[in-house]
Amino acid sequence: MKNNIFMKRVKLLVSLLLVLAVSIQAQSYQKTDLGIKTKINSTDVEIQFFSPTTVRILKSPVGKPFKKESLTVIKKPQATKLAISQQGDIVSLKSNKLKVDVDVKSGKVSYSTLVGAKLLSEKEASATFTDFDDAGSKTYTVNQSFTLDKDEAVYGLGQQQRGKLSLRNEKINMVQGNTDDYVPFLVSTKGYGLFWDNYSPTTFEDKPESTSFRSDVGDCIDYYFMLGGSIDGSIACMRDLSGQAPMFPLWTFGYWQSKERYKSQNELVGVVNKYRELGVPLDGIIQDWQYWGNNYLWNAMDFLNTEFPAPKKMVEDIHKQNAHVIISIWNSFGPQTKQYREMKPKGMLLNFGTWPQSGLEAWPPNREYPSGVEPYDVYNPEARDIYWKYLNKGLFSVGIDGWWMDSSEPDHLDFKPSDFDLKTYLGSFRKVRNAFPLMTVGGVSEHQRATSSDKRVFILTRSAFAGQQRYGANTWSGDVNSSWQSLRNQIPAGLNFSMSAIPYWNTDIGGFFASAYNRGWNEGAKNPAFQELYVRWLQFGAFTPMMRSHGTDIPREIYNFGKKGEPIYDAIAKSIDLRYSLLPYIYSAAWDITNSQSTMMRALVMDFSDKNVVNTNNEYMFGKSILVAPIVNAQYTPETILRANAETGWDKKEATDNAKNQAVSFAQPKSTKVYLPEGTSWYDFWTNEKVKGGQEITKSTTIDEIPLFIKAGSIIPFGPQVQYATEKKWDNLEIRVYPGANGEFSLYEDENDNYNYEKGAYSTITFTWNDASKSLIINNRKGSFPGMITSRKFNVAVIAAGKKIEKAVTYTGKKVVVKL
């Protein structure tokens, strides 16, 4: 009897202990509206679902409250249905797309698909917080490590001049610079993206045992994991978080001419006139610096230089020639400008060395006459208001069409560690340093949108940060050197930048610093070594989101290279004409970016499951149909290794030998290797020859052509020959079909400028190719806008056996089936 009572008490005690254990386990986390909160060892951890595919991870030392408003993320988290459970030490959170596991013992967070496929996991005990004194504020240096699969490739992190595509086995110190634009977002071949939401100097390092982000300053570890299912899908998730890319005006996709610098309004207008006389297409001209006068008036945003006596007339003269003009503006001000004098008493300037360093134009800078130029505090909303006030009054009001925001990282010369201690509106400069371009570009974009909707915002800028795609900006790769190695570097630089969720990128065609090519030549543009490099760079530039020629030392206007009938001149003209024929394709690709979160300049790994393209750094897709293989090695002239930077490049020594070198013939054909990804057939753009994918071929080339291949199943619209983008309506387009697979293409049209497309003022016409029946369906037109073409002709051309089979059809907006 007593024994039975004892045994019952033991069982009761065990049951109570089990209940208590379950109770304790259940209390190891707290449910929130977005996920859970928990304390693990000495760290507070919060999991927040922003959507079924995107989750935010916040970690901070226990009991150290902080407040953070993201500069990049503008999405508000949406209510997401979650199933939360615990088994042992693992708390699992499941949406209908993604599973997140949190080990409440070690703190490790892991991500997997709903069917259990592992995506990414943190390395155990890898979240670290190291005490750091940030200009008097007690905070931390933060670090988080992850474990990647051995055969996994990752891309992004903005633009780097490494010459490589994949980020594996790389260590990258991310501090914004002239030719390096850092965006702490990466994508994986496993179909996920990772955004490290921190603005201080950050080191990314990938080693065999771990991949980590380490930031100098952070009150917390703050990152987002997103499951896109593909690189495109992950980019779409990032844009969902940080903002969609608006449409640019059609004219921005034409050809742009620039140089350092046009020294008078007569010279600027004269370039446009000359292009019109020659019949070479042109849509944009760019005025570089010092239209404001001397360096003490740096960036006055006013035409104080006497060589620009009538700016309004200058702009009108350019507009009369159906061209557009954008102008150089900076993120710093000289001490005699109105902006400086208004901002300085309010503490809105940052006192560190920037460009220019002397009040005199001579090189090297004369430090006995310092310029006194200082960057402004872009993080301060009132300072951004002041910036726009003068920009609006001095430049926007005279009809300038867009902004060339130079030094938007900004230039930080003679760096001292104490410069990071400077106070900004949002704390130390160290804390927010990498977000400088986002804030300054955003300030101009938001103010212009608030001022007028008649003209779409267009900003050409030298630097970028995560989220900048929402501001109507196209980033160029900075003051890169004029060399073949620099050209080779631009392709992976642009591809990684594009995979950082910012779709618009371009480069100085020909490279910026070209003085070495002047030596031994009266005119560098007549030097065959530069001619070859320039033509190949231009041919690459024709297949980037902005085709823009620019540089110092050697003028880049087409007439400097010769005249019609000469090989270099003709090669330049041919590339520009090709660009204009592709405008319907390019503008539709731009709509695909805005409407469907697409990317225009595409690494091959985005579109092909082919292990051979994982690290391809010299070919890419332009849109989803055209494979571009730029010529990136000299074929006709010696490839001289040249190196220059912003310091040495400006040291323009005079040529001592004016004897011309021997002329070079560009007549003979050459050849190059091209890899065609597997899984499809390809058509040689120039010959229409069909080639099987999954092989490397030897392609014959000439000075006026680079290898271009069209993916089977592609439908490409070709526009009319024009002198500027909107000269002729698209009422008689050639619709070229490349058989071998089913295909689809949507032709997008709108009013070419303004924001009425956001209100639905646009149309799309979807073309569908049925490869089995060899028929093209031109579907019912969707949408409408003022000035829309109601009746038009399409000249359908199907490529077959190296020839074009053509048939003209009339289209009035109703479905048409074309049999060929």
3-state secondary structure 162-202: CCCCCCCCCEEEECCCCCCECCCEEEECCCEEEEECCCCCE
Q: Tokens 């040529």 map to which residue?
A: 655
d(CA 463, CA 475): 6
Is omega for the bond preceding 536 within 30 degrees of 0, making it cis?
Answer: no
In DSSP terms, 38 is beta-bridged to 45
d(CA 540, CA 532): 13
The secondary structure of residue 485, as a DSSP letter, is H
d(CA 752, CA 283): 13
Q: What token pair was written down for 309?
A: 């006596």
Q: Is 479 one of the catalytic residues? A: yes
**Measuring CA to CA, how many Å separate 263 from each of 270, 288, 396, 417, 478?**
12, 9, 20, 38, 21
d(CA 418, CA 125): 32
d(CA 744, CA 767): 6
Q: Is 86 helix (H, G, I), strand (E, B) or coil?
A: strand
Kindly provide the residue ranges of all beta strands, DSSP E only, lying in 330-426, ordered along the sequence. Answer: 332-333, 374-375, 402-405, 423-424
**Sign of the four-CA dihedral 188, 190, 192, 198:** negative
d(CA 327, CA 338): 19
Q: Tokens 């709903």 map to which residue?
A: 114
d(CA 115, CA 742): 31
Q: Is 406 one of the catalytic residues? A: yes
Q: What angle do CA 485, 490, 496 make, to 5 degrees?
A: 135
The answer to whether the beta carbons of residues 351 and 332 sit under 8 Å apart is no
Q: Is 651 one of the catalytic residues? A: no
Residue of 406, 411, 619, 684 with catalytic role: 406
Q: Which string of DSSP letters, residue by residue, matches 578-634?
A: HHHHTHHHHHHHHHHHHHH---SEE-GGGT---GGGTT--S-EEETTTEEE----S-
Amino acid code (one letter) for 217: V
Nearby residues of 95 by Cβ (< 8 Å), 6 or more positions away: 49, 51, 52, 53, 80, 81, 82
Residue of 232, 302, 479, 749 with catalytic role: 479
Q: Region of 494 please: left (phi>0), alpha (psi -120 to 50) or beta.
A: alpha
Compute and round to an integer the Cα radius of gyration of the chain. 29
Residue of 219, 288, 409, 411 with catalytic role: 409
d(CA 485, CA 496): 17
d(CA 207, CA 192): 19
The answer to whether the beta carbons of residues 292 and 305 sit under 8 Å apart is yes
Which residues form the catalytic set?
Answer: 406, 409, 479
